[in-house]
Amino acid sequence: MKRTKTSKQWMQEHVNDPWVHRAKAEGYRSRAAFKLTEIDQKDRLLAKGQVVVELGAAPGSWTQVVVKKVMPGGRVFALDLLEFAPIEGVEFIQGDFTEESVLAALEERLGGRAVDLVLSDIAPNISGIATIDQGRSIYLCELALDFAERHLMSGGNMLVKVFQGSGFDEFRKAMGRVFSQVHVRKPAASRDRSSEVYLLGLGKRQ
């Protein structure tokens, strides 16, 4: 298959990306680790002993950060449609978060435990049609928010990746109905040209 101009540009950018080199040097599975690290340093989301659910966990760089911060004593539940190389201490479920059976499996693993933090770095499979991709992305965010609303303890927090575009403002308002505070975070490791930001919900309302 012939590479497109866009794919060549991405590969060149990836090879020259200092965050990629740093991730390899520090043993992280991807550069995304530094996005969560920066937000955690600013907002102090992670602490020992927490119960954390991570949606869209593959390849596992966020999970590596989480494990270092919540262990020993914490519980980490990770879910993704893609395969996930095991990480000690992580309970992984492979499946599609939009399917009821997969959600039920995750809830069964939780066994009624209240969750301290929900992380969602889920992105939809890209069709290349902007309106469709944005709609799919917001839908996944809404599912993650619904999960957080049902499983987070009072005062718990949520961090979710959102692409700016249609539905963004409405989703931010929806988060505001669930959390006492909602902030936008754009970590340095996010590429400038990307429309991705992270919405941080602090203090789940009772």
C-alpha to C-alpha distance for 30 and 70, rounded to whole angstroms: 20
SS3 88: coil
Beta strands in the chain (DSSP E): 51-55, 75-80, 90-94, 115-120, 152-163, 179-185, 196-204
Is 121 known to sit in a ligand binding site?
A: yes
- 161 annotated active-site: yes
Per DSSP, helices labelled H in 98-190 are 100-110, 130-151, 168-178
Angle at 69 between CA 23 and CA 162, to 5 degrees: 65
Cα Rg, the chain, nearest whole Å: 17
Is 96 known to sit in a ligand binding site?
A: yes
Dihedral, CA of residue 75, residue 41, residue 164 and residue 174, to nearest 10: 60
Q: Which of 35, 69, 161, 204 is catalytic?
A: 161
Is 80 known to sit in a ligand binding site?
A: yes
Residue ranges at the known binding site: 60, 62, 80, 96, 121
Q: Which residues are catalytic?
A: 161
Residue ranges at the known binding site for S-adenosyl-L-methionine: 60, 62, 80, 96, 121
